Amino acid sequence: MTLRRALLALLAPALVLVAAGCGSSSTTTSTAGSATPASSTSSASHILRIPYLADMSVPDPDIFYDIEGNSVILSAYEGLLKYSPNSDKLVPDLATSWSESPDRLTYTFHLRANVHFHDGSPFTAKSVIASFKRRLNVGQAPAYMVKPIASMTTPDPLTLVVKLKEPVDPFLDYLASSWGPKMIGPEAIVTHAGKDFGQTWLQTHDDGTGPFQLTEFARGRQYVLTRNENWWGAKPFFQKVLLKITPDISTQQLELENGSVDGIMHSFPAANLSSLPSSVKVLKYPSYLRLLLYVNTNKPPFNNPAVRASLRAAIDPAKLVAEAYSGTGTNSKGPFPAELLSGQPTLPYAPNPTVAAEGVTKASTKSIVLGFTADESGIQRRVGEILQAAPEAAGWKVTVKEVQLPQVYAYINNLGAAPDLLLQTNTPDAANADTWSRILFFKEGGLNFLGFNNARVNKLLEKSRSAAPAESEQLEREAGQEVVNENGIFFLGDIDNVFVLNKDLEGVEQIPAYPWTVNYASLRRTSG
């Protein structure tokens, strides 16, 4: 038994270590919860804590083109126009009014007075020109929105006249898009230009005019937005917004339930919504985020229209969306998000096991691959697994395969090696039908992953962009009808913006075209 005593000497450090972890109840409670440390000057109730599931790419509005991170860009920067909350109505932002010439080539913007950038410099028409030019110079994806501009002039410091090369129906929507051109302080652009138009500096700083300033960008850990005391709008309630990178949705959920964070803005497991404690509330709003099933029409078996039609009969979108999204999504009614286009063609999706089974007999192969892009919440995997069942019941042998987004972008280079079916969620850049159809239905569309190519659709879309609004909408409807008839893309579901928030948060403003994002400047705490 003396060996036991000898062991005690060795065990002691381990026991002390464990005790250090477990025996600190009296002093660590505040650390685990919402502490008010000495180094902070903001009172706890005026700090908003929101988790992000992943880092944003970069907080540079001329490069950023993702969804996670939208709230940083929209808090720090402003554009000329924006959308009214819960709608797709264009309203003033840094432009107080605007007009369009009859030939739709000239736009005149009257700008808001007494607006300052975060570095204190004034916002004028010249700032807009500098920001638009920087976007072109940086030349990343969002640059396409200012490419139609032929020239810009400034009759006075608060008036900007923009002339386009040709009429562009969605031009004003580009200016209101969350990825649209944002105003960046021209002095900062010059001072920190470096050799890359200030891209390096803007990776960790901002110089917008927004209600918050990006005061810390600790990649992988947290971003801090601090209230802009000189903002032209109503003073935001929160002094700071802490965006903590918490990549596990279960951890986020536990932290919300324990009050360590104030809300979860996306990817909350729908199945857990019904078992939340009374301290939190769930808010659901329609968004433009859509669940799509791409069909590879460029190789057997789905290069055969009859086989594609039979596949349509195998799918039951209503059941799929109900099972996967548990009340946080609805099955799509048309090829465009409903609010983007009135009178759009209806979707003829009606499951018919007999037709579905007949189609399999016409197919050159019964083995098909269904790819899906994994997301942080795991819902895409679940959709894939549910979706797998219906075609298999019809006689298909479906292999479900997880793929990464860069692989998906490469499918267009070798469609023969691409999967037969691809599950994706996507959203238009703005509340305009063209910003959906052009990237999805057009032969060179960036989200046209499996090479859908229909000559009539391409022609209609080429015409619609410069057509007058009413004609443009009609052309979009016709293009949409053609896509539906072709069964090259199935429009399965419209996914809600689901915000799970502490009950004491009020003033939620969201915009369907800005997925996963609420306006931090309008939020307030009732208990504050």
Partner 1 sequence: MAGLIARRSVALVAVLFGLALIVFVLQAVVPQNPARAMVGASASPEVVAKKARELGYDEPLPVRFADYMERLFSGNLQTSLRTRNPVVADLESFAPATLELALTAAAIAAAIGVSLGLLLAAGGRLARVLRTILIGGASVPTFLSGLALILLFYSTLHLLPASGRINDTLIAPTGPTKLMLLDALLHGEPSVFWSVLTHLILPAFTLALIPALAIARVLAASCEAVMREDYVRTARTKGLRERTVILRHVLRNASGPPLTMSGLQFGLLLGGIVVVEQIFAWPGLGRYLDQSIAYADFPAITGTTLLLGTAYVIVNFLVDLAQAWADPRIRTV
Nearer to partner 1, 258 or 342 (CB): 258
For residue 410, state whether it binds partner 1 (rule: CB under 8 A).
yes
Q: Which of 17, 91, 350, 468 binds partner 1 (CB under 8 A)?
A: 17
Cβ at position 7, least distance to partner 1 in Å? 5
Candidate ranges 46-54, 88-96, 320-328, 335-343; the one touching partner 1 (CB under 8 A):
46-54
Candidate ranges 286-294, 340-348, 349-357, 442-450; the one touching partner 1 (CB under 8 A):
442-450
Q: For the window 48-87, what string marks contact with partner 1 as x by the rule CB under 8 A? A: -x-x--xx-xx----x-x----------------------
Q: Determine the Cα–Cα distance for residues 349 and 334; give it in Å rounded to an integer.
A: 10
Cβ at position 343, least distance to partner 1 in Å? 26
The residues in 368-407 that bind partner 1, with binding defined as CB under 8 A, are 374, 404-407
Q: Determine the Cα–Cα distance for residues 494 and 436; give it in Å rounded to an integer.
A: 14
Q: Which of 429, 478, 494, 496 binds partner 1 (CB under 8 A)?
A: 429
What residue type is assigned to position 57 of the chain? S
Cβ at position 224, least distance to partner 1 in Å? 9
Q: What's phi and psi for 75, nearest 5 deg? A: -85, -35
Candidate ranges 16-24, 285-293, 331-339, 378-386; the one touching partner 1 (CB under 8 A):
16-24
Handedness of CA 516, 520, 521, 526 (dihedral sign): positive
Quote helix, strand, coil % in the chain, to nearest 5. 35, 20, 45
Nearer to partner 1, 87 or 409 (CB): 409
For residue 458, state whether it binds partner 1 (rule: CB under 8 A).
no
Nearer to partner 1, 25 or 114 (CB): 25
In 3D space, the residue among 262, 279, 253, 259 whose CA is nearest the CA of residue 33 turns out to be 259
For residue 176, state whether it binds partner 1 (rule: CB under 8 A).
no
Nearer to partner 1, 68 or 473 (CB): 68
What sections of 178-316 are H helices per DSSP? 186-191, 249-257, 305-314
Nearer to partner 1, 41 or 114 (CB): 41
Cβ at position 429, least distance to partner 1 in Å? 6
Find tokens 């903590």 and name the residue. 244
Nearer to partner 1, 47 or 347 (CB): 47
DSSP 425: E
DSSP 220: T
For residue 417, state whether it binds partner 1 (rule: CB under 8 A).
yes
The residues, any chain, with a CB within 8 Å of residue 22's CB and separated by 6 or more, are none
The residues, any chain, with a CB within 8 Å of residue 308's CB and separated by 6 or more, are 295, 297, 302, 486, 487, 488
Find tokens 């929160």 and name the residue. 238
Q: Which of 89, 165, 221, 397 binds partner 1 (CB under 8 A)?
A: 221
What tokens does 234 get?
């109503």
For residue 305, state whether it binds partner 1 (rule: CB under 8 A).
no
The residues in 234-293 that bind partner 1, with binding defined as CB under 8 A, are 240, 242, 244-248, 250-251, 254-255, 257-258, 260
For residue 20, state whether it binds partner 1 (rule: CB under 8 A).
yes
The residues in 310-369 that bind partner 1, with binding defined as CB under 8 A, are none
The residues, any chain, with a CB within 8 Å of residue 47's CB and separated by 6 or more, are 34, 40, 238, 239, 240, 241, 242
For residue 24, state whether it binds partner 1 (rule: CB under 8 A).
yes
For residue 33, state whether it binds partner 1 (rule: CB under 8 A).
yes
Nearer to partner 1, 33 or 528 (CB): 33
Cβ at position 176, least distance to partner 1 in Å? 16
Q: What's phi and psi for 24, nearest 5 deg? A: -115, 30
Q: Determine the Cα–Cα distance for residues 289 and 497; give it in Å rounded to an integer.
A: 8
Indicate the SS3 state at residue 170. Answer: coil
Nearer to partner 1, 5 or 195 (CB): 5
What residue type is assigned to position 467 of the chain? A
Nearer to partner 1, 115 or 293 (CB): 293
In 3D space, the residue among 518, 526, 519, 501 whose CA is nearest the CA of residue 236 turns out to be 519
Cβ at position 245, least distance to partner 1 in Å? 6
Q: Looking at the chain, how many residues does it have?
A: 528
For residue 522, state whether it binds partner 1 (rule: CB under 8 A).
no
CB–CB of 513/288 below 8 Å? Answer: yes
The residues, any chain, with a CB within 8 Å of residue 394's CB and separated by 6 or more, are 310, 313, 314, 353, 356, 357, 359, 360
The DSSP code sequence of 305-333 is HHHHHHHHHH--HHHHHHHHHTTSEEE-S
Nearer to partner 1, 444 or 506 (CB): 444
Q: Determine the Cα–Cα distance for residues 14 and 8; give it in Å rounded to an integer.
A: 10
For residue 194, state whether it binds partner 1 (rule: CB under 8 A).
no
The residues in 465-504 that bind partner 1, with binding defined as CB under 8 A, are none
For residue 9, state whether it binds partner 1 (rule: CB under 8 A).
yes
Candidate ranges 76-84, 361-369, 411-419, 466-474; the one touching partner 1 (CB under 8 A):
411-419
The residues in 100-159 that bind partner 1, with binding defined as CB under 8 A, are 139-144
Residue 459, number of CB atoms within 10 A of its CB: 13
Put residue 120 in one of left, alpha, beta given phi > 0 → left and psi -120 to 50 → alpha. left
Nearer to partner 1, 111 or 293 (CB): 293
Q: What's phi and psi for 28, nearest 5 deg? A: -100, -5
Q: Which of 99, 409, 456, 471 binds partner 1 (CB under 8 A)?
A: 409
For residue 219, state whether it binds partner 1 (rule: CB under 8 A).
yes
For residue 190, state whether it binds partner 1 (rule: CB under 8 A).
no
